[in-house]
Amino acid sequence: MAVQTVANTASGESADSAAPAPDETGTPSLGAAVALSCRECGTRTPLGPSFVCLECFGPLEVAYELPTGDPEALRARIEAGPASMWRYAPLLPVPADVAGKPNLNPGFTQLVKADRLAAELGVTGGLYVKDDSGNPTHSFKDRPVAIALEAARAFGFTTLSCSSTGNLAGAVGAAASRAGLRSCVFIPEGLEQSKVVMAAIYGGDLVAIDGTYDDVNRFCSELIGDPLGEGWGFTNVNLRPFYAEGSKSLAYEICEQLGWRLPDQIVIPVASGCQLVKIDKGLRELVELGLVEDKPVRIFAAQAEGCSPVSRAYKDGTDVRPVRRPDTIAKSLAIGNPADGPYVIDICRRSGGAVEDVNDAQIVDAMKLLARTEGVFAETAGGVTLGVTRKLLDEGVLDPSLSTVVLNTGDGLKTLDAVAPSAGPSAVIAPSLDAFRAAGLA
Ligand SMILES: *Cc1c(COP(=O)(O)O)cnc(C)c1O
Ligand SMILES: [Zn+2]
Model confidence at 16: pLDDT above 80: no
pLDDT in the model for residue 191 = 94
Q: Which residue among 109, 132, 275 has the greatest number of ligand 1 atoms within 8 angstroms of its CB, and so is best to mutate?
A: 275
Q: What is the pLDDT of residue 67?
A: 84
Ligand 1 near 338 CB (within 6 A): no
Lowest-pLDDT range, 64-68, 117-121, 211-215, 305-309? 64-68
Residue 244 has a pLDDT of: 98
Q: What is the pTM of this model?
A: 0.93
pLDDT of 11 > 60? The answer is no
pLDDT for the residue numbered 26: 56
Ligand 2 centroid to 45 CA: how many Å? 10
* Confidence at residue 411, expressed as pLDDT on a 0 to 100 scale: 98
The band of 25, judged by pLDDT with boundaries at 50, 70 and 90, is low
- Domains of the chain as residue ranges with CATH: 15-101+141-243 (3.40.50.1100), 111-138+247-422 (3.40.50.1100)
Question: What pLDDT is recorded for position 17?
Answer: 38
Distance 173 CA to ligand 2 centre (A): 32
Residue 20: predicted pLDDT: 44
pLDDT tops 90 at residue 142: yes
Rounded Cα distance, 61 and 45, in Å: 10
Task: State residue 10's pLDDT score.
Answer: 37
Closest ligand 1 atom, CA of 278?
7
Instruction: Answer yes or no: is pLDDT of 68 > 90.
Output: no
Q: Which ligand is nearest to the CA of 45?
A: 2
Give me the percent of the chain exceeding a pLDDT of 70: 94
Is the pLDDT at 2 greater than 70? The verdict is no
Atom of ligand 1 lying closest to residue 340 CA: 9
- Nearest ligand to the CA of 132 is 1
Give me the pLDDT at residue 29, please: 85
